[in-house]
Amino acid sequence: MNRNEKVELLTYLIESDKIDVVRMQEEMEQKRKLELLSMHPFEIWQGKDGIWKTYLPDEKAGRIFRKRKTEKEIQKVVVEYWQQEIENPTVKEIYDQWIAKKLEWQEISKATKDRYDRQFKLCFQEFGKRRIKSIREDDIEDFLKCAIKDHELTQKSFSNLRTLVLGIFKYAKKKKYISYSISEIVKDLDISRKAFRKVRRTDEELVFMEDELPKIQGYLETHADIKNLCLLLLFKTGLRPGEVVALRKESVKGNIISVDSTEICYKDELGKDTYEVRQFPKTEAGIRDVILPEKYLWIIEKIKLLNPYQPYLFMQSGKRLLEHQIRSRLKTVCKNCNIQSKSPNKIRKTYSSILLDSGVQESIVIQMMGHTDIATTKGHYYRNRKNEQEKISVINSVVNL
């Protein structure tokens, strides 16, 4: 029997009163009620006072107490609660569903989920409690503009927030909770650049200056333990800190370092930081061969002498060095050299600035950096490394001024 025949038969049975539609509807409602009651994690009981009692889930308190005079009334409270949870979830519940799917489909890493969770916790404390069907299009614009103001967002942090909003509301539309297009709302946003917090940093904060580099590299060479050799290799290759601690012995062939992995950090089920090596880098362009200048091959040889038998290039006491350990060591080294404290990523900016100042071909620069285009390198990594006196000298030497 095909579908049309089934529909025709059902229509005949209903019209000829062969089926009690009212009774069937009641049975369906009762089945639905039992399904919703089975979702309830708390006991429903009758107290000694004859009152029927239970708890409902609550995000803040964990649970909230409810009581009614009859069992039927308390069951109605429970059924209505779970009916609303299913048909009109909160923004937070949709976010959780969306993130779970992204992880299941391996579209994001656990580390990315942790970053999204931090952004959600910062910006969605109140908005996340709202039921999705109660949110109008203008509510979203108000929320975004208030978030920029209340949390003093930079353009970059707003971009991260926008990613979450797009993901949450696209998922909500797919599930038919809403009908409007979040993409159109976000595209039509009228937000002035002046609304964003500006982060102004001097070149001295972003790179190691020309007069600082000999100091710090000299210190690393004369105090050449495994962590300092790791920092020295960063200065000579421009690797990302997560990439350098993920290097295996076989990644290095002569002065060619093959990069195809990076360290990731995420929270486990207990909220504890977990560190893993992921077998693909931060970006597709991150899969690359980086050249170590031949005069610094001694760094690799010394590393292998300190760590001859372990699988990873940088290990200590049988454990792989972690990115945060390298970051901490750099802070100590900067202090010992009387240099302003800088992060490992500032080594990377220093490396790219040296390449560009030295006139290295742009295609080689982006390969060494693992970037997709030179605009990224020049826009975010290229900085002046001369101090004030050196800049004055350079300008004074320009003949045509």
DSSP per-residue string spanning 89-112: -BHHHHHHHHHHHHHHTTSS-HHH
What angle separates helix 323-336 from helix 213-222, to the nearest 10 degrees?
A: 110
Largest CA distance in the chain: 103
What angle separates helix 226-237 from helix 323-336, to the nearest 10 degrees?
A: 90
Is residue 191 pLDDT above 90, yes or no?
no
Dig out the tokens for 192 from the structure.
């002035």
* DSSP-based three-state secondary structure for 272: coil
Report, at the CATH architecture level, how domain 91-195 is classified: Orthogonal Bundle (1.10)
Dig out the tokens for 95 from the structure.
């976010």
CB neighbour list of residue 90: distance below 8 Å, 6 or more residues apart: 128, 129, 130, 131, 132
- Distance, CA of 363 to CA of 376 (rounded, Å): 12
Q: Which CATH number fits domain 203-394: 1.10.443.10, 3.30.160.40, 1.10.10.10, 3.40.50.720?
A: 1.10.443.10
| Tens-place pLDDT, residues 109-139 | 888 999 999 999 999 999 999 989 889 999 9
Region 311-337: what's the mean pLDDT?
96
At residue 18, the pLDDT reads: 64
- Distance, CA of 109 to CA of 281 (rounded, Å): 12
Element spanning 290, H or E: strand 288-291
Is residue 5 pLDDT above 70, yes or no?
no
Q: For residue 305, what pLDDT band results from cuts at 50, 70 and 90?
A: very high
Q: Which residue has the higher pLDDT, 170 or 2?
A: 170
Burial class (CB in 10 A: 0-12, 13-18, 19+), 349: buried
User: Phi and psi (nearest 5°) for 46?
Assistant: -105, 125
Q: Please give the model's pTM, rounded to 2 decimal places.
A: 0.72
Asked whether the beta carbons of 139 and 132 are under 8 A apart, the reply is no
What angle separates helix 155-174 from helix 110-123, to the nearest 10 degrees?
A: 100
| Tens-place pLDDT, residues 353-396 | 999 999 999 999 999 999 999 999 999 999 999 988 888 888 88
Element spanning 275, H or E: strand 273-278
Beta strands in 238-282 (DSSP E): 252-253, 256-259, 262-267, 273-278
Please work out, in degrees rounded to the nearest 5, the angle formed at the alpha carbon of residue 246 by the alpha carbons of 245 and 251: 115
Find where tokens 């994001």 sit.
108
Asked whether the beta carbons of 228 and 234 are under 8 A apart, the reply is no
- Distance, CA of 398 to CA of 236 (rounded, Å): 31
At residue 6, the pLDDT reads: 65
At residue 251, the pLDDT reads: 95
Pairing of strands 45-46, 256-259: unpaired
- Distance, CA of 123 to CA of 114 (rounded, Å): 14
Element spanning 83, H or E: helix 71-87
